[in-house]
Chain A
Amino acid sequence: DGGITQSPKYLFRKEGQNVTLSCEQNLNHDAMYWYRQDPGQGLRLIYYSQIVNDFQKGDIAEGYSVSREKKESFPLTVTSAQKNPTAFYLCASSTRPTSGRDQRAYNEQFFGPGTRLTVL
């Protein structure tokens, strides 16, 4: 799982509550990502951040919020507006892609161990 930590490993939430998932990396990566994983589906991008104090919505941002106040931290808040939050959440980081078309143009993402969120 490289230098990325996620906490907690398991999280239980009551309906109507907001919860925050932690993601910390010590890889000195500029870019960070949050994914949601559901059984039988590929990963879906919730939010990503290219650099500190900047982030963009992914494919399924509704009901989620993020912040990027520090380079090493990218917490995800699952709000009560997220109707079906039970899932496995994965955080990842990478170096910033270049604009070229060679091997350096796109670098692989390094993933944390994940947080399993269950709504009670």
Chain B
Amino acid sequence: AQSVAQPEDQVNVAEGNPLTVKCTYSVSGNPYLFWYVQYPNRGLQFLLKYITGDNLVKGSYGFEAEFNKSQTSFHLKKPSALVSDSALYFCARRGDSNYQLIWGAGTKLIIKP
């Protein structure tokens, strides 16, 4: 079965330091991959996606992610973290159809001043 793993429940980073939120995916078909962010008691907001093309994808709010086929990973990165980046981050991949997304469990990112 297709799956997405976010191995860290929580990531703590000091403000101004680079941040990485990890995501790995199951190998099956074309792994269209997505990152979303959720602020407390809010809906999810789209950050970026990888469908095809360049392995490095740039998205909203200064985030980027690198698609690594050999490691089946799609880690989310940002060079310099802001306190306002503190939120819940979800990685997702295409499911059996283009209408279905398989979601990771989420990673809580805490940026400390």
CA distance A68 to B97 in the complex (A): 20
Query: Which residues on A are within 8 Å of B, measured CB to CB?
Result: 1, 4, 6, 31, 33, 40-45, 48, 50, 56, 58, 90, 92, 97, 101-103, 105-106, 108-114, 116
Complex contacts, A50 vs chain B, CB 8 Å: 99
Contact B44 A45 (CB under 8 A): no
Complex contacts, B41 vs chain A, CB 8 Å: 113-114, 116
Contact B42 A113 (CB under 8 A): yes
Contact B43 A97 (CB under 8 A): no
Q: List 28 A-B contacts (CB under 8 A).
A: A1-B42, A1-B45, A40-B9, A40-B106, A41-B105, A42-B105, A42-B106, A43-B90, A45-B101, A48-B99, A90-B44, A92-B44, A97-B98, A101-B51, A102-B52, A103-B51, A103-B52, A103-B53, A105-B51, A106-B32, A106-B49, A108-B49, A109-B101, A110-B46, A111-B36, A111-B43, A111-B45, A114-B41
Complex contacts, B36 vs chain A, CB 8 Å: 111
Taking the closest CB of chain B, its distance from the CB of A40, in whole angstroms, is 6
Query: Which residues on B are within 8 Å of A, measured CB to CB?
Result: 4, 9, 30, 32, 34, 36, 41-46, 49, 51-53, 90, 92, 94, 98-106
Given the contacts A106-B98, A108-B49, A43 and B103 also touching, CB distance less than 8 Å: yes
Q: Which residue of B lies closest to A104 (CB)?
A: B51
- The interface centre, meaning the residue of A90, A102, A106, A116 with most chain B CB atoms within 10 A of its CB, is A106
